[in-house]
Amino acid sequence: MFFLCHFFLSVKKKTRTAECYFRDGVFTSPPSSSSPHTGCRHSSPRRTPACPPSAMRLPALLITFTLLLLLTSTPPGSGHPAPASEQRGPVFVQQLSRPGVGFSWRNVSCPLCKAVFTILDIALLSDTNEERVAQAVGEACIRLHLADEQVCREIISLFRDDFIRALQQSLLWPSEACALLVGPSCGKFDIYAPWNITLPKAPKPPVTPPSPPKPGSPQNRVLFLTDIHWDQEYLAGSTADCKAPLCCRKDSGSPSWRRREAGYWGTYSKCDLPLRTVENLLENVAAAGPWDWVYWTGDIPAHNVWSQTRKQQLSELSVISRLIHKHLGPNVTVYPAIGNHESTPVNSFPPPFVHGNRSSAWLYNTMAEEWSPWLSEQALKTLRYGGFYTMAIQPGLRVVSLNMNFCARENFWLMVNSTDPANQLQWLVHTLQASEDKGEKVHIIGHIPPGLCLGSWSWNYYHIINRYESTITGQFFGHTHLDEFQMFYDEVTMKRPLGVAFIAPSVTTYINLNPGYRVYYVDGNYQGSSRMVLDHETYILNLTEANHKPEAPSTPEQNPKWTLLYRATKAYGLTSLFPSNCDGLMQTFVKDDQAFQKFWYFRHKGHVSEPCKETCKTSLLCFLRSGRYEELEQCDLLNGFGGNLARAARKTLC
Ligand SMILES: [Zn+2]
Ligand SMILES: [Zn+2]
């Protein structure tokens, strides 16, 4: 998803430079209202079209603007018990509010706004107008130099159908568009609206803090793979520094004398991995077994998101699933989770209310086929429905694999309805209650860390972690490509640490990283086991060594070594990795800069260029503390970052 982030952040950058000309007109996004809502609201049939072509220029421009605005806007955050923070509006809106012209969306009356969007709504019912919108957005992309011309054209044609459909069903409904533009008094915008899951009446059991297991207690060794990002078109010797969002590829061109070239095993640049590196990793982890089980949290395809097809996505899913199965053997169960890159367009995960060819059936059905050696019939059933499932791993331990694309702001289908998509969180609550009743422990795996989710989803998830803190004994995510974690505290005082979401580093090098993988040591299968993470290790392939033999620097190693980068307890002097240990570690980072810089080095899998000081350090500590998106925003405000931190954290989504 990096490309899109980069793409739209570039829009911000370009427009921000223009801000000095437009001093007036600060637009405030609507704070979320306090009343939760439910259900899909757009059931009424679309009206009949067609304005004459001459009337279409304004709609096309406005839709172009709306589309860009939507994708460059700042999320107003959660409207849950804590008050929503004041937000600055989308840069595009600020830019439009130029005093010289005397125009501001704030000056538009609610009825006028609704009238404009009603016209738009009708206009978009015609295919010709869809074409115009796509063309206009493509032109904007090219003229603003957001990407090169070919990338602009390809990405617009890839996104256009699904995106315009979602727009038609959501934003372009006058009440939502006007809520975003004029203010909350003029309507509601679904993607930021608050909602609440229902918890069962069963009271929360008393909490007993976990204690370290007795020496010699059994442990489980769990392999964790995430963000493989295999690039079928990776080409050693091609240029590693190109203009496109992804380099080291056949069409990246040949390196000139000043440019670096793609290495044999991978490259420190905006490049993904050749298949040989993925296979080499799998050979190495197979030899480093046995593994009690494997968690694999998604993002299989490369970052060439402007030119992906369903057929390619499915073939990559099959190739990698089969390779993992082949190398690890039939006796190891792999529990996969769905990443945001599995679909095309990237991030496009229509919830189950979308049927037919636009639904995710093409993807989930193939996943169910490929993953059937590992998953139960019941698990395959919910996987086909919404991309999530649960399975018992051992007596006393269960895994829940969440489809975190239903929490992601980038999933534009949530513009239509973002209320607990696919009822996934409500299903999670039922699953957890059943486990609590049985005295079973639960691990949650997923792709996008919950602290980076839409405000309301994140708030509800945090609430669930609080209620079931004695049942949920591990949370495992990926997606940021970096080695980090996020803390969960009790909701009342926000002081007692009660959970940690471990975020493991990627297999891919994207961007400037060594390839890597993670191993978790979990309290084992015995009576009274906490089933919590006791330790973890990170292994890397040092690319400088792998791509250059010492005796012949232009020749790569044939059998490169995957080496231990660090073991957490040893590196940080901890006894365990319980939530209290991780919280203590954060305090250490504040006081002991050497320990923090060590974390910074590990966070980038041993390949960093600069130390992280001052603002960088403060914002990273904020990130670690914020298992909930709201905390990140508040941290932001407390430190006077004016919203930049939360935005930057979402940038790490890429
Ligand atoms: Zn990824
Ligand atoms: Zn991802």
Judged by phi (left if over 0) then psi (alpha if -120 to 50, else beta), residue 389 lies in beta
The rounded distance, in Å, linking the Cα atoms of 134 and 137 is 5
Q: Which two tokens stand for residue 508?
A: 């891919």
Q: Assign residue 481 a region: left if phi > 0, alpha if psi is -120 to 50, beta otherwise?
A: left
pLDDT at residue 310, rounded to an integer: 97
Burial class (CB in 10 A: 0-12, 13-18, 19+), 147: buried
Report the chain's mean pLDDT, rounded to a whole number.
81
pLDDT of residue 126: 66
Which parts of 172-274 fold into alpha helices (H)?
174-181
Ligand 2 centre distance from Cα of residue 339 (Å): 5
Tell how far the Cα of 230 is from the centroid of ligand 2, in angstroms: 13
Cα 311 to ligand 1 centroid, rounded to whole Å: 20
Distance 340 CA to ligand 2 centre (A): 5
Per-residue pLDDT, 55:
30
* Per-residue pLDDT at 367: 98
Q: Which ligand is nearest to the CA of 510?
A: 1
Q: CA 379 to CA 403: how far, in whole Å?
A: 13
Asked if residue 16 lies in contact with residue 647, where contact means CB atoms within 8 angstroms, the answer is no
pLDDT band at 106 (very low <50, low <70, confident <90, very high): low
Give me the percent of the chain exceeding a pLDDT of 90. 62
Cα dihedral sign for 273, 277, 283, 289? negative
CA dihedral of residues 230, 235, 241, 243 (deg, nearest 10): -80
Q: Which of 78, 73, 70, 83 is nearest to 28 (CA)?
A: 73
- Give Cβ neighbours of residue 17 (< 8 Å, ≥ 6 apart): none
Domain architecture of the chain: domains with CATH: 2-192 (no CATH), 219-231+272-588 (3.60.21.10)
Compute the distance from residue 93 Cα to the ligand 1 centre, in Å: 31
Residue 482 has pLDDT above 50, yes or no: yes
pLDDT of residue 558: 96
> What 3-state DSSP class applies to 269?
coil
Average pLDDT for 139-164: 73
pLDDT above 50: residue 112 = yes
Give the 3-state DSSP-derived string for 28-71, with helices as H, strands as E and coil as C: CCCCCCCCCCCCCCCCCCCCCCCCCHHHHHHHHHHHHHHHHHHH
Task: Give 227 Cα–ligand 1 centroid separation in angstroms.
Answer: 4
pLDDT above 70: residue 18: no
Ordered alpha helix ranges (H), 454-557? 455-467, 543-547
For 607, the token pair is: 């390949």
Asked whether 124 and 59 are in contact (CB, 8 A), the reply is yes
Confidence of residue 192 (pLDDT cuts 50, 70, 90): confident
Is residue 62 within 8 A of residue 35, CB to CB? The reply is no
Q: Which residues surround ligand 1, an ion (CB under 5 A)?
A: 227, 299
User: Do 75 and 90 meet the contact criterion of CB atoms below 8 Å apart?
Assistant: no
**pLDDT tens-digit series, residues 129-143:** 667 777 777 776 777
pLDDT recorded at residue 652: 46
The number of helix segments (H) and strand segments (E) in the chain equals 20, 12
Predicted local distance difference test score (pLDDT) of residue 638:
75
Mean pLDDT value of segment 579-595 = 96
The angle formed by the CA atoms of residues 401, 406 and 408, to the nearest 5 degrees, is 115
- Per-residue model confidence as pLDDT tens digits over 40-89: 223 232 222 222 222 333 334 444 444 443 333 333 333 343 323 333 33
Average pLDDT over residues 544-554: 93
List C-alpha distances in Å: 393 to 133, 256, 302, 535, 623.
49, 52, 30, 19, 31
CA distance 78 to 418: 13
Would you tell me how many other CB atoms lie within 10 Å of the CB of residue 145? 12
Q: Which ligand is nearest to the CA of 508?
A: 1
- Cα(106) to centroid of ligand 2, in Å? 36
> Which residues participate in the annotated binding site for Zn(2+)?
227, 229, 299, 340, 447, 479, 481
Which of 238, 273, 266, 267 has its CA nearest to residue 252? Answer: 238
Q: What's the average model confidence in pLDDT over 543-566?
A: 95
In angstroms, rounded to a whole number, what is the distance separating the alpha carbons of residues 295 and 291?
Answer: 11
Q: Which ligand is nearest to the CA of 452?
A: 2
Question: Residues 190-205, buried b or exposed e (16+ Cβ, 10 A)?
Answer: bbbbbbbbebeeeeee
Q: How far away, in angstroms, is 205 Cα from ligand 2 center?
A: 35
Helix-helix angle 310-328:275-287, to 10 degrees: 30
Identify the weakest region by mean pLDDT among 107-111, 364-368, 560-564: 107-111
Q: What is the pLDDT of residues 213-238, one digit of tens each?
A: 999 999 999 999 999 999 999 999 99
pLDDT of residue 647: 66
Task: Write down the pTM of the prediction.
Answer: 0.80
| Average pLDDT estimate for 477-506 | 97
pLDDT band at 370 (very low <50, low <70, confident <90, very high): very high
Q: How are beta strands 441-445 and 397-401 bridged, if at all?
A: parallel
First to last CA, the chain: 5
**203 Cα to the center of ligand 2, angstroms:** 36
Question: What does the pLDDT average to over 261-286?
Answer: 98
Q: What is the pLDDT of residues 594-614, one digit of tens each?
A: 999 999 999 999 999 899 998
What residue has token string 């016209």?
119
Query: What would the 3-class secondary structure string for 104-115 be?
Result: CHHHCCHHHHHH
Q: Closest ligand to 448 CA?
A: 2
d(CA 71, CA 409) in angstroms, rounded, equals 9
The single-letter DSSP state of residue 27 is -
CB 362 within 8 A of CB 382: no
Can you give 428-455 as a three-state secondary structure string?
HHHHHHHHHHHCCEEEEECCCCHHHCCH
- 468 CA distance to ligand 1 middle (Å): 29
pLDDT digits (tens, 9 = 90+) for 20-37: 222 222 222 322 333 333
Average pLDDT for 124-132: 67
Instruction: Provide the annotated binding site.
Output: 227, 229, 299, 340, 447, 479, 481
CA 426 to ligand 2 centroid distance, Å? 24
Quick one: how far is CA 235 from the chain centroid? 27
Question: At 650, is the pLDDT very low, low, confident or very high (cuts 50, 70, 90)?
Answer: low
Expressed in angstroms and rounded, the spacing between residue 201 Cα and the centre of ligand 2 is 36
- Any alpha helices (H) in 361-509, and if so which ranges? 361-370, 377-386, 424-438, 455-467
Residue with tokens 């609201």: 41
Average pLDDT over every residue of 572-577: 97
Residues 6 or more apart whose Cβ sits within 8 Å of residue 280? 265, 541, 560, 562
Q: Which band of pLDDT confidence, cut at 50, 70 and 90, is reported for residue 144? A: low
Q: Lowest-confidence range among 126-130, 208-212, 325-329?
A: 126-130
